Amino acid sequence: MQRKVLIIDCADASGLITKITGVCFANGLNIIKNSEFVDNAQGRFFMRTELEGERFSPSLANDIQAILPERSRIRLVDSGKKRIVIMVTKEAHCLGDILIKSYSGALDIEIAAVIGNHQVLQPLVDKFDIPFYYVSHQDLNRSEHESKILEIIAQHAPDYIVLAKFMRVLTPEFVSQYPSQIINIHHSFLPAFVGASPYKQAWERGVKIIGATAHFVTDSLDEGPIIKQDVIPVDHSYSAEDLARCGRDVEKSVLSKALQLVINEDVIVYGNKTVVF
Amino acid sequence: MQRKVLIIDCADASGLITKITGVCFANGLNIIKNSEFVDNAQGRFFMRTELEGERFSPSLANDIQAILPERSRIRLVDSGKKRIVIMVTKEAHCLGDILIKSYSGALDIEIAAVIGNHQVLQPLVDKFDIPFYYVSHQDLNRSEHESKILEIIAQHAPDYIVLAKFMRVLTPEFVSQYPSQIINIHHSFLPAFVGASPYKQAWERGVKIIGATAHFVTDSLDEGPIIKQDVIPVDHSYSAEDLARCGRDVEKSVLSKALQLVINEDVIVYGNKTVVF
Amino acid sequence: MQRKVLIIDCADASGLITKITGVCFANGLNIIKNSEFVDNAQGRFFMRTELEGERFSPSLANDIQAILPERSRIRLVDSGKKRIVIMVTKEAHCLGDILIKSYSGALDIEIAAVIGNHQVLQPLVDKFDIPFYYVSHQDLNRSEHESKILEIIAQHAPDYIVLAKFMRVLTPEFVSQYPSQIINIHHSFLPAFVGASPYKQAWERGVKIIGATAHFVTDSLDEGPIIKQDVIPVDHSYSAEDLARCGRDVEKSVLSKALQLVINEDVIVYGNKTVVF
Amino acid sequence: MQRKVLIIDCADASGLITKITGVCFANGLNIIKNSEFVDNAQGRFFMRTELEGERFSPSLANDIQAILPERSRIRLVDSGKKRIVIMVTKEAHCLGDILIKSYSGALDIEIAAVIGNHQVLQPLVDKFDIPFYYVSHQDLNRSEHESKILEIIAQHAPDYIVLAKFMRVLTPEFVSQYPSQIINIHHSFLPAFVGASPYKQAWERGVKIIGATAHFVTDSLDEGPIIKQDVIPVDHSYSAEDLARCGRDVEKSVLSKALQLVINEDVIVYGNKTVVF
């Protein structure tokens, strides 16, 4: 038995569920799990269906496309292990969490490579027999630096790229090559404290809760579609450094959860938002 | 346009979604919101569908029943205000929260009556021009007491009965008259601290979190299907009384949320559990 | 036996705890509960002490002042019921929660008066036999409107003023009369979504968590010292109206908790932050 | 400058804070942070004080003991890195999290050794150049097995022993050698679901929240003093396996947080409870 995930995103219309599940049924496929959402404000229909069958007709996606409204988006992807490339700078917590989760099977991923603009995390990556590429930004302009990185990424053909505390802003040219495929962790509860030093900003403002936000990367810094957010309570006794230290636990937890959702094909991007089934 | 909620609970089978939504589509009904769940361990299919249409055929439920496996359970209920009867003893917090939420329209309910085995909450209920029935259990055996209460409830024909800190155990005879219609709030995170004085038990055990549980009432005390649970962190500095005081906020919040889910027809009971869409 | 709370806020120095508790001890007072905090970044010492004794010397505050560094702030306040005035516009949820909590004794307050710039909440307040003052802002400039309100407040001499969804901005003149005494609930997780329509902003941004913030009111809108914050998870299926509806539960809960902290004298304001013991 | 933590646990009496801080002050020590708690129900006083000074008199603890009530417990411990031994069976998540946190400096510990009754985690431990001892329980009675483990532990003289999903029950003889030094993670929100297969129990009960509990190990299985608990929401769609998978994140997070508290000397055990400053 094979398993695939069907993702549909189209204009809302009458009878969509009947028609779509009808095609699946006619193809001898069993629906393992089904989720729909209609955004009434925008008249948009979203559906995620886990299908199981002995055989998937090569024309299945086309057959479904045929009964959908015009300009529908449809994806039919295999369940199972996804390839990712991780980009890092100096901090170990998010990377370390993904390494352990991949090692123990908690995340069904293959880490094809880790790319760092500093070398400090190489020893950690080496322990897990994963290629580490040190690509310093020293003496390179942004475009040259990104070209080198893009070349390495291209070699590894990842399904998704994870910025696990990669502390440099990516150019629109970079981002445009991997639309809705680059996941970033921002160390604040966006949109609070955009920009640099969010923990210092949080300390100065005297907030009683801090958080982290995992989002897809778009051209606008800290403005991409949010996948997952979480928070922890803090109090007056936390220095800015304490906030940063405690925040790391939320960062790694939120990033791992977002990655889990994304590789599970639970996330549909539309406009600047996500539907997360 | 009319709105109804269709609730289906049946043995799992191929093509159920296609067939069910097909009948709705053929009846000219629009699906506003649709949720399904398959319990693979038990081979059971659950579906909740919000339907909208100019006219609902009187045979709709039967038409759907006809295409379902045998022994399916199907309900087709009107959206909109539900009638409830509230039973209380002496504590005001859960009752007060429901009164305010009903008054302000936050809960779409009509409180038909409040029944108390003590009189202390009558002045609060009177403020809201809702009939309060004082039915003391003094000098009555359990059966006599419950008969009086059942008589009052029957007059008001509620959709649901809410035990808002009603501190007496109901007999199986009482419960059997309102299966899956009586909602209770238990002042612990069940199944921890079943029975009496859960906050005292929690204090003695030195737990770092306390909670509350809203559940349907069945014959087994504190054992009915759980609808909603929530918790709050506590610490060593809380006395048993502090735990009780802080716990009241969770109790009222959990009970109100459970009631919201139930009147919204989001909850399906099966066996001793719930599916909450 | 009498109880008082001693609040100290001064430059940090060696031996402060020994000296302060020494004066209390010499006065025959028992320390029921004691909390200290040193902000090392600013070299500032904060202390809150619950004292019990048969008799409090009238010179106690002065005796303590004498052993503290210059420009220390010291308060010695009675434990027990606080007087509050509540200001509202049209929404019942925060007001209703405080009314019920006051009625049931969950909040140890006396609600001296409720002032509304609309009349819609008067019937609710009347139920609880609390004076409601309708002060419309129609045909009045801001200063005239506030003068009328200030006059009513002055009559009732409250310890604290609670803005329970009062939807007008107060002028610096108003605020300056009640420094660190006016508590507001803002319907977002500040500093995210400052300004108008935070739930609409949150919906447009596609956040996965929404929150509420209780803070003291200062001249800068939405910028005052934060007392308490809390959040709830949301998802793509929430409309802006759903966010607002669910947000109301957080708003009322955060405001009540902040009020509890404030009347308990657990909160010290310094700069634009709070120490919350 | 040196730093030490002073931990006091004694019968409550008048003037304790003044006297204790007085001795510290007289010794030229600065109080960096101070916390007290009085359990009024039991008349017991608890204090934790972080002290800083150029030199700590060797008689300091005795000097303080002299002014305390009889049978007081007093500890004066160095701040800084603690030695731990970890015991495991087959699951990687808790161990992995501690390894990464130790590697990155997030936990200020030295992992002296890891002991496993299965060999499966050896490769992970080897990556971090930490000695792994495989001590199978095959063909050994409980006492023989524990003797071998105790011998290894003794060699490494740890401050604390962490049971990171060690799936065997320790005997009272073992536990008595390390009182209040053995930390266990239990995969439920104790006291709910004591004993075996808590996730299966949780699934059968249909709970809406699951949790984990870190506690000191005592003679009574699952009954030791609780250090930290946390929970996550779940729903009907989770199988028992899903509960176990999601629960692992809470387990590792709770265990790491408990370990952080313990090595920071924030935890005082008294009776079967903890004070956690």
Q: Say if residue B80's pLDDT is above 80.
A: yes
Measured between CB atoms, does D189 come within 8 Å of chain B?
Answer: yes
Verify whether the Cβ–Cβ distance A31 to B21 is below 8 Å. no
Q: Among all residues of chain A, which has the CA nearest to that of D260?
A: A246
Q: What is the largest CA-CA distance in chain A?
A: 63
Return the pLDDT at D223. Answer: 87
Contacts of C124 in chain B (CB under 8 A): 103
Verify whether the Cβ–Cβ distance A100 to D92 is below 8 Å. yes
Min Cα distance B194 → chain D (Å) is 10
Tokens of C213: 């913030």
Min Cα distance B34 → chain A (Å) is 7
For D62-81, what is the mean pLDDT? 95
Q: Say if residue D190's pLDDT is above 90.
A: no
Which residue in the list B222, B230, B235, B242 is annotated as catalytic?
B222
Strand blocks (E) in chain A:
2-11, 30-39, 44-53, 73-78, 82-88, 109-116, 132-134, 160-163, 182-186, 209-216, 226-233, 267-270, 273-276
Verify whether the Cβ–Cβ distance A272 to C192 is below 8 Å. no
Round to whole Å and give the CA distance between C238 and C215.
27
Round to whole Å and give the CA distance between B36 and B48.
6
Return the pLDDT at A82. Answer: 97
Q: Among A92, A96, A249, select the one facing D253 at the smallest CB separation.
A: A249
Round to whole Å and give the CA distance between B160 and A48.
35
Verify whether the Cβ–Cβ distance C18 to D14 is below 8 Å. no
Q: Say if residue C195's pLDDT is above 90.
A: no
Verify whether the Cβ–Cβ distance A229 to C236 is below 8 Å. no
Q: Among C96, C106, C127, select the one facing B93 at the smallest CB separation.
A: C106
User: To which H or E segment does residue C2 belong?
Assistant: strand C2-11
Q: Say if residue C216's pLDDT is above 90.
A: yes
Residues 30 through 59 of chain B touching chain A, CB cutoff 8 Å: 30-36, 38
Return the pLDDT at A17. Answer: 94
Buried b (16+ CB within 10 A) or exposed e, B129-143: ebebbebebeeeeee
Mean per-residue pLDDT of chain D: 95
CA A38 to chain centre: 22
Buried b (16+ CB within 10 A) or exposed e, D77-99: eebeebebbbbbbebbbbbbbbb
Site of tokens 């804070």: D17
Measured between CB atoms, does C226 come within 8 Å of chain A?
Answer: yes
Residue-by-residue DSSP string for C140-162: --HHHHHHHHHHHHHHH--SEEE
Residues 58 through 87 of chain D touching chain A, CB cutoff 8 Å: none
Min Cα distance A275 → chain B (Å) is 15
Tokens of D3: 């730093």
Pairing assessment for the beta strands B44-53 and A44-53 based on DSSP bridges: unpaired
Min Cα distance C223 → chain A (Å) is 8
Q: Residue C53: what residue type?
A: G
At residue D57, the 3 state secondary structure works out as: coil
Round to whole Å and give the CA distance between A251 and A274.
19
Residues 144 through 173 of chain B touching chain A, CB cutoff 8 Å: none
For A231-241, what is the mean pLDDT? 95
Q: Among all residues of chain B, which has the CA nearest to that of C128?
A: B127
B2-11, strands of its sheet edge to edge: A73-78, A2-11, A44-53, A30-39, B30-39, B44-53, B2-11, B73-78
Measured between CB atoms, does C27 come within 8 Å of chain D?
Answer: no
Round to whole Å and give the CA distance between B226 and B215.
4
Mean per-residue pLDDT of chain A: 95
Measured between CB atoms, does B27 come within 8 Å of chain A?
Answer: no
D partners (3+ CB pairs within 8 A) are A, B, C
Pairing assessment for the beta strands D82-88 and D160-163 based on DSSP bridges: parallel
Site of tokens 């996606």: A61
For B165-187, what is the mean pLDDT? 96
Min Cα distance A245 → chain D (Å) is 8
Q: Among all residues of chain D, which has the CA nearest to that of C53?
A: D14
CB atoms within 10 A of CB C43: 10
Q: D174-185: per-residue pLDDT in tens?
A: 999 999 999 999
Residues in chain B, total? 277
Q: What is the dihedral of CA A151, A155, A159, A160, to 10 degrees?
A: -40
Verify whether the Cβ–Cβ distance D34 to C30 is below 8 Å. no
Q: Say if residue C190's pLDDT is above 90.
A: no
Contact A52, A68 (CB under 8 A): no
Give the helix, strand, coil percentages of chain A, each rounded to 5.
Answer: 30, 30, 35
Is D126 labeled as catalytic in the residue annotation? Answer: no
Residues in chain C, total? 277
**In the structure, what pLDDT confidence band is assigned to residue D191 with cuts at 50, 70 and 90?**
confident
Q: How many contacts (CB atoms, under 8 Å) link B and D?
A: 78
For A269-275, what is the mean pLDDT? 95
CB atoms within 10 A of CB A123: 11
For B128-134, what is the mean pLDDT? 98
At residue D250, the 3 state secondary structure works out as: helix
Q: Say if residue D236's pLDDT is above 90.
A: yes
Return the pLDDT at C67. Answer: 96
Q: A173-200: per-residue pLDDT in tens?
A: 999 999 999 999 999 888 888 888 899 9
Min Cα distance A17 → chain B (Å) is 7
Contacts of B236 in chain D (CB under 8 A): 37, 39, 273-276
CB atoms within 10 A of CB C184: 24
Q: Is D194 exposed, middle or buried (0-12, 13-18, 19+ CB in 10 A)?
A: middle
Q: C139-162: per-residue pLDDT in tens?
A: 999 999 999 999 999 999 999 999
Domains observed in chain C: 2-78 (3.30.70.260), 82-276 (3.40.50.170)
Mean per-residue pLDDT of chain C: 95
Q: How many contacts (CB atoms, under 8 Å) link B and C?
A: 43
Cα angle, residue A69 at apex, residues A67 and A72 outer, rounded to 5°: 100
Nearest CA among C55, C57, C48 for reference residue C20: C48
Return the pLDDT at D182. Answer: 98
Q: Among B93, B106, B256, select the one facing C104 at the smallest CB separation.
A: B93
Positions of A marked active-site:
222
Min Cα distance A43 → chain B (Å) is 11
For C163-191, what is the mean pLDDT? 94
Contacts of B37 in chain D (CB under 8 A): 236-237
Give the helix, strand, coil percentages of chain C, each rounded to 5.
Answer: 30, 30, 35
Return the pLDDT at A261. Answer: 98
For C25-52, what is the mean pLDDT? 94
Q: In the 8-state DSSP scheme, what is residue C208?
A: S
CB atoms within 10 A of CB C40: 10
At residue C63, the 3 state secondary structure works out as: helix
Which residue in the list D9, D97, D159, D222 is annotated as catalytic?
D222
Q: How far is CA D55 from CA C14, C230, D1, D29, D62, in A?
A: 16, 44, 7, 8, 16
Upper half-sphere CA count for residue D244 (Cβ side, 13 Å):
11
Measured between CB atoms, does C134 come within 8 Å of chain D?
Answer: no
Interface test with A, best of D32, D101, D121, D122 (most A CBs within 10 A): D101
**In the structure, what pLDDT confidence band is assigned to residue C223 with cuts at 50, 70 and 90?**
confident
Which residue in the list C126, C219, C222, C249 is annotated as catalytic?
C222
Residue-by-residue DSSP string for A52-76: EES---TTHHHHHHHHSPTT-EEEE
Interface test with C, best of A193, A236, A239, A277 (most C CBs within 10 A): A236
Q: How far is CA A45 from CA A41, A60, A264, in A?
A: 11, 19, 20
Q: How far is CA D33 from CA B10, C40, D21, D182, D266, in A?
A: 62, 10, 12, 26, 12
Nearest CA among D120, D109, D186, D178 for reference residue D149: D178
Q: Say if residue C181's pLDDT is above 90.
A: yes
Measured between CB atoms, does D208 come within 8 Å of chain B?
Answer: yes
Buried b (16+ CB within 10 A) or exposed e, D7-36: bbbbeeeebbbbbbbbbbbebebbbebbbb
Return the pLDDT at D243. Answer: 95
Measured between CB atoms, does C246 come within 8 Å of chain B?
Answer: no
Q: Say if residue A221's pLDDT is above 80.
A: no
Contact C33, C49 (CB under 8 A): yes
Min Cα distance B60 → chain C (Å) is 28
Round to whole Å and give the CA distance between C126 and D120.
70
**In the structure, what pLDDT confidence band is assigned to residue D194 with cuts at 50, 70 and 90?**
confident
Nearest CA among C140, C141, C95 for reference residue C115: C95
State the distance between the two ends of chain C, measured CA to CA, in whole angstroms: 24
Return the pLDDT at C194. Answer: 85
Q: Say if residue C221's pLDDT is above 80.
A: no
Contacts of B106 in chain C (CB under 8 A): 93, 245, 248
**In the structure, what pLDDT confidence band is assigned to residue B125 with cuts at 50, 70 and 90?**
very high
Interface test with C, best of D3, D6, D18 (most C CBs within 10 A): D18
Q: How many contacts (CB atoms, under 8 Å) link A and B?
A: 33
Round to whole Å and give the CA distance between B182 and B177.
10
At residue B32, the 3 state secondary structure works out as: strand
Q: Say if residue C191's pLDDT is above 90.
A: no
Give the helix, strand, coil percentages of chain D, each rounded to 5.
Answer: 30, 30, 35
Verify whether the Cβ–Cβ distance B100 to C100 is below 8 Å. yes
Round to whole Å and give the CA distance between D101 and D89.
20
Q: Among A14, A35, A36, select the one facing B30 at the smallest CB separation.
A: A14
Interface test with D, best of B48, B201, B209, B273 (most D CBs within 10 A): B209
Verify whether the Cβ–Cβ distance C100 to B93 is below 8 Å. yes
Round to whole Å and give the CA distance between A234 and B145.
50
Return the pLDDT at D196. Answer: 82
